Copies of this chain bind each other. A is one copy, B any other.
Amino acid sequence: MIKELINGKTTACVASTDRGLLYGDGLFETIAVIDGTLRHWPRHLSRLQAGCDRLGIPAVDGRELAHECQALAGNAARAVLKVIVTRGSGGRGYRVPEKTVATRIVQLHDWPVFPPVCAETGVAVRVCKTRLGDNPALAGIKHLNRLEQVLARQEWSDPDIMEGLLLDAAGYLIEGTMSNLFLLRDETLLTPDLHRCGVAGIMRTRVLELSEQLAIDAHIRPVEMKDLREADEIFICNSLIGIWPVIAVDSSEYEKGVVTARLQNLLDSCPDTGNSWRT
């Protein structure tokens, strides 16, 4: 990590009574900083606030948080901001105390080094054995209960496999451990419905918008392994990697597709700066 602010102060210490630690009682965002700009800031803030609403954590002061993020990001050419908001300290039991003061953590990390081949040629992924449990009350938001992702990511160490795909208990495809999933079938884009589990990624929404600009039909619906097997194109996306074509799922090979490339090009040429934030 490069530097950090916790509740506005330079420290790396969180209270051992923080409910983020005790129960994973909080939320996070992972934000790309490019040329000192917080990419998709309003979208990240909006998802964070939606998560707070869902968990009953008092709303974050968006202006204050933005200023802290910008103070850390400075003029960084490329960096990653991780924002964590927890319910704060209180109680040994699950019951939420009447008054809680949220903990606000902002961390600036180095930009991860992705081999250029990932975006250009595409990546190999695997289907994980670890399944996502259904929980509509937690679906969509980016909360701190991430053991399923940790267990899934432990399933492989082969550095050539860049992502693992996760199914729910019923066998539907939901997402990658750190990304959202898109398939193209019969010239229609498909991405899994996330009403029962999964994280609704900022880049997923952006891809759906871009597909509209390109007049590509896109559907959000339950996605089966059959859809994956019969897909003409597959890609994964998140705020840091953008769009990566998938050219192998376990032993099945796929071509990097034309639609995937068109979406990548449009994403590169439309940085969505009106939706970013800079002082």
Q: Chain A residues in contact with chain B, CB under 8 A?
A: 1, 4, 6, 11-25, 28, 30, 55-56, 80, 82, 84, 86, 92-96, 105, 107, 109, 112, 130-138, 143-154, 169, 177-178, 197
Contacts and interface: CB of A to CB of B under 8 A. Distances in A.
Which of A22, A131, A178: most chain B CB closer than 10 A?
A: A22
A55 B137 contact: no
Contact of A95 (B23, B94, B130, B153): B153
A268 to B, nearest CB: 24
Given A21-B144, A82-B92, 17 more contacts: A1-B17, A6-B16, A20-B21, A21-B84, A21-B86, A22-B144, A23-B145, A23-B146, A24-B145, A24-B147, A25-B147, A80-B92, A93-B112, A96-B153, A132-B135, A135-B148, A138-B148
Contacts of A169: 133-135, 169
Nearest to A20: B21
B130 A133 contact: no
B154 A96 contact: yes
B144 A23 contact: yes
Given A109-B92, A133-B197, A150-B55, A12 B17 contact: yes
Contacts of A151: 55, 137-138
A107 B21 CA distance: 13
A22 B14 CA distance: 11
B23 A147 contact: yes
A137 B12 CA distance: 32
B21 A23 contact: no
A138 B144 contact: no
A149 B13 CA distance: 26
Nearest to A107: B16
Contacts of A144: 21-24, 147
24 contacts: A1-B92, A12-B15, A12-B16, A13-B16, A14-B15, A16-B84, A20-B21, A21-B86, A21-B144, A23-B145, A24-B24, A55-B147, A56-B154, A80-B92, A94-B149, A94-B150, A94-B152, A94-B153, A133-B133, A133-B135, A133-B169, A144-B147, A145-B146, A145-B147
